[in-house]
């Protein structure tokens, strides 16, 4: 079975907001930094799924997400649609409902932290 997912590249200037995935071996890429988002429900459009996931995970309703890139993760058999969410101010996102924590990183820091393949797949495009 092939899955579909929507991921949010949340950006403010040269910084990106990522989640540290749970340290749970039952999920893909535990304890690594990844974009927020997740699998789409059956018959759910990617943008609608993204908005649902981001609201569930951050209690935040993204404004005007722009489809940015698509990538297929062979390991998880998931077709990922990335959306760019450009923020006008740096949000603190105090209500994180998924993952261990959320944190802002500048682009150079992405080279020194343990990132999940979904981040690695688009890092050079950011």
Task: Kindly report the CATH number assigned to the domain that includes residue 11.
Answer: 3.90.79.10
The model's pTM is 0.95
Task: Say what the pLDDT of residue 110 is.
Answer: 96
The stretches in the chain having pLDDT less than 50 are: none
* Contact call for residues 47 and 83 (beta carbons, < 8 A): yes
Site of tokens 């899955």: 3
Q: Assign residue 21 a region (left: φ > 0; alpha: ψ between -120 and 50; beta: otherwise).
A: beta
* Contact call for residues 47 and 84 (beta carbons, < 8 A): no
Domain limits for position 63: 3-125
Closest Cα to residue 79, out of 31, 125, 40? 40
Task: Say what the pLDDT of residue 79 is.
Answer: 98
CA 99 to chain centre: 11
Burial 95-125 (b: 16+ CB within 10 A, else e): ebeebeebbbbeeeebeeeebbbbbebbeee
Task: Say what the pLDDT of residue 122 is.
Answer: 96
Q: List the structure tokens of 100.
A: 């261990």
Task: Please give the tally of structural domains in the chain.
Answer: 1
Q: Average pLDDT of the chain?
A: 96
Contacts of 87 (CB under 8 A, 6+ apart): 10, 11, 12
């Amino acid at each position: 079975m092939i899955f579909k997912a929507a991921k949010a590249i949340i950006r403010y200037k040269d910084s990106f907001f990522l989640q540290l995935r749970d340290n749970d071996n039952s999920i893909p890429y535990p304890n690594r930094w990844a974009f927020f988002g997740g699998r789409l429900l059956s018959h759910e459009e990617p943008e609608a799924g993204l908005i649902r996931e981001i609201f569930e995970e951050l209690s935040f309703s993204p404004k005007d997400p722009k489809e940015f890139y698509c990538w297929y993760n062979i390991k998880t058999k998931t077709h990922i649609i990335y959306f760019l969410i450009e923020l006008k101010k740096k949000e603190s996102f105090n209500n994180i409902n998924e993952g261990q924590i959320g944190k802002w990183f500048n682009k150079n820091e992405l080279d020194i932290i343990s990132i999940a393949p979904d981040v690695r797949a688009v890092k050079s495009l950011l």
